[in-house]
Amino acid sequence: MTALNSEDSPVYIRLRQHIAAAVLRGDFKAGDQLPSVRALAAEHGANPLTVAKAYQRFQDDGYVEVRRGVGMFVLAGAAEKLRAAERAHFVETVWPKVRAQIDLLGLDSTELLSGELA
């Protein structure tokens, strides 16, 4: 699992994150067809093989299914399963680093959460 906003990640992971965020926002719901490999590659200026690798990760993780000759479709329960996996990744991997940075900088978590930092 990967964080949803890693700018220094490989392109296929950033593409996967883009699609994951779209599924979590509800842009793609169960049964919806994802953009074709070529369309997504053109939209993001990526190599089609890179897009195919991102899509393969989604298929391997059980979020989408391929219908030969038709395309890739979001599976029922994919958003919930993806949200649970992303939450677990955040809590186990991302949050400890964020918390350590908060402590290191002496930031007040209440102010951070309220948006009242100057």
Q: Look at residue 4 and tell me if it is in a domain.
A: no
Q: Which of 10, 31, 23, 15 has the alpha carbon at shortest distance from 85?
A: 23
Q: Which residues of 72-87 are buried (b: 16+ CB within 10 A; e: fewer)?
A: bbbeeebbeebeeebe
pLDDT for residue 8 is more than 80: no
Question: What integer best gives the mean pLDDT of the chain?
Answer: 89
Q: Which two tokens stand for residue 53?
A: 């690798």
Q: Look at residue 5 and tell me if it is in a domain.
A: no
Confidence band for 82, pLDDT divided at 50, 70 and 90: very high
Q: Which of 64, 60, 59, 40 has the alpha carbon at shortest distance from 50?
A: 40
Q: Look at residue 3 and tell me if it is in a domain.
A: no
User: Which residue has 């989408």 as its token pair?
Assistant: 64
CB 72 within 8 A of CB 66: yes
Q: Look at residue 6 and tell me if it is in a domain.
A: no
Q: Look at residue 99 and tell me if it is in a domain.
A: yes
Question: Which one is predicted more confidently, 9 or 90?
Answer: 90
Q: Look at residue 21 and tell me if it is in a domain.
A: yes
Q: Which of 7, 15, 10, 11 has the alpha carbon at shortest distance from 34?
A: 15
Q: Look at residue 104 and tell me if it is in a domain.
A: yes
Q: Average pLDDT, stretch 17-43?
A: 95
Q: Look at residue 76 and tell me if it is in a domain.
A: yes
pLDDT of residue 70: 92
Full domain range(s) for residue 41: 11-114
Question: Which range among 2-16, 24-38, 77-91 shows the weakest confidence by mean pLDDT?
Answer: 2-16
Confidence band for 6, pLDDT divided at 50, 70 and 90: low
pLDDT for residue 10 is more than 70: yes
Number of domains comprising the chain: 1
CATH number at residue 26: 1.10.10.10
